[in-house]
Structure 1
Amino acid sequence: MAIQKGDFIKLNYTGRFEDGRIFDTTDEELAKQEEIFNPRGLYGGDVVIVGAGHTIEGLDEDLEGKEAGYSGTVSIPPEKAFGPSNPKLVETVSITKLPDRNVHPGMPVEIDGRRGVVSRVIGRRVTVDYNSPLAGKTVTYEYAIEKLLEDDVEKIQGLLALYTGIRDMEVEIADGVAKINVPTGLTFNQRWLMAKNRVASELFKYAGLKEVQLIEKLTAEAEVPAPAEPEVKAEPEAEEEPSESQE
């Protein structure tokens, strides 16, 4: 059966730059070998909804029409990958702005809380690129569609894992209502607080559910983190233009 928009699939992939360097993979051993392993990452394949924006546009489009078990490679230009490089995020500053004056092209730096990479050094002037390292790059993805998910519980667990990094959360479904038992650790997790409404919306749209119940349980033994102290600044600061970034 051909993969269509709205299908839940399990996807394994490896992303490379044009020079062959790997920047992302679902293969844990390969990530360690390439020194890009993230101990908080979830390896072994992602469950994604085709057409829901869970992958970059070029890869998402290439999935359509394929079948479970397919494996292949796709080359993706910047406009359908991580976007073009923004010239407004390339700035030239005095070398005195840097704590380390022994700078060179390719050196990562942080200036006024913004992270960038030195692209050029001329005398005492340094050009810093604050774009994402992935911006403006043509990338290649080797990928395999491991399976097309049919079971509703498996779909929900896969989507939850994509957003939380936790596999096999406890889920029950009856009469279009999904009951999701949220682990205590997620109750105070900022990533989860921001993602849970989107998770519910996608389950309504793509899994045909009419209600999602998020059940959060606290016990006497559970450690409840103290509320964070508000940050106090001596004087207001203008917000910097955020740079693009990837996980």
Structure 2
Amino acid sequence: MSQVVVGPGAQVFMHFTVELPDGSVADSTRAHGKPARLTLGDGSLSPGMEAELMGLSKGDKKRFSLAPEHAFGHANPDNIQHLDRSQFAADADLSEGTIMAFTAADGNQYPGVIRAVEGDSVTVDFNHPLAGQTVLFDVEILDIVSKEA
């Protein structure tokens, strides 16, 4: 029986750690003790991330770096919004760095980071928190379910 490898449409169970250039850990499935389940080609991973995973087998470990354009993208100034303080609950924590969920017109929720509060204006950044960062991934493939299976 041939070894199953990561390919288009494969469902991959893996542990990963995302580190920033300064060595700090931005996210880790190991810390939560719960591996990620991802499907290649469903749009949840960047093409750069998928390219790094292609061909890996169960048990493989890999460390790789992705530039912003291949990871979480560059920060987009259009994703920074200035909202009126009256749009927030009276007891909302509007301190700088607070992450809040916002419901869009389409009903989906999106995270936003409070960047500044000046008078009645609240600046909210809807860019991915790691946008503009080069990130280092440390992955371990736990299992692969190929598209054909």
TM-score by length of 1: 0.43
Aligned partner of 1:90 among 50, 74, 80: 80
1:76 aligns with 2:54: no
Partner of 2:117: helix, strand, or coil?
Answer: strand
The correspondence for 2:140, drawn from 128, 139, 144, is: 144
Alignment partner, residue 104 of structure 1: 95
Question: How many percent of aligned residue pairs carry the same amino acid?
Answer: 24
Letter of the 2:54 partner, please give it.
Answer: E
1:31 maps to 2:27: no
1:118 aligned onto 2:108: no
Amino acid at match of 1:12: M
Secondary structure in 2 aligned to 1:100? coil
Could you say what secondary structure the match of 1:83 adopts?
coil
Q: 1:104–1:65: structure 2 CA closer, same or farther, 3 Å change rule?
A: same
Write 1 or 2 for the structure with the bigger share of helix.
1
Query: CA 1:47/1:122 → structure 2, altered by over 3 Å: closer, same or farther?
Result: closer
> How far apart in 1 are the matches of 2:112 and 2:9?
38
Letter in 2 for 1:84: H
2:133 is the counterpart of 1:132: no
CA contact (8 A) 2:6 2:12 kept: no
Does residue 59 of structure 1 match 2:49? yes
Offset of residue 104 of structure 1: 1.9
Aligned pairs for 1:152-231 within 5 A: 155=146, 203=147, 207=148
> Is this contact kept in 2: 1:70–1:145, CA < 8 A?
yes
CA positional deviation for 1:106? 0.9
Task: Determine which structure has more spread, i.e. the larger CA radius of gyration.
Answer: 1
Cα-to-partner distance string for 1:87-121 (whole Å, 9 max, x where unaligned): 1121223434333376321123466x355221122
In the comparison of the two structures, how many residue pairs are matched? Answer: 138
**1:104–1:120 Cα contact (<8 Å) kept:** yes
* TM-score normalised by length of structure 2: 0.63
> The residue matched to 1:105 in structure 2 has which SS?
coil
Long gaps (5+) in structure 1 = 33-42, 156-202, 210-247
Distance 2:87 2:137 in 1: 38
Q: CA deviation at 1:72?
A: 2.0
1:16 maps to amino acid:
V
Letter in 2 for 1:55: L
Aligned to 1:162: none
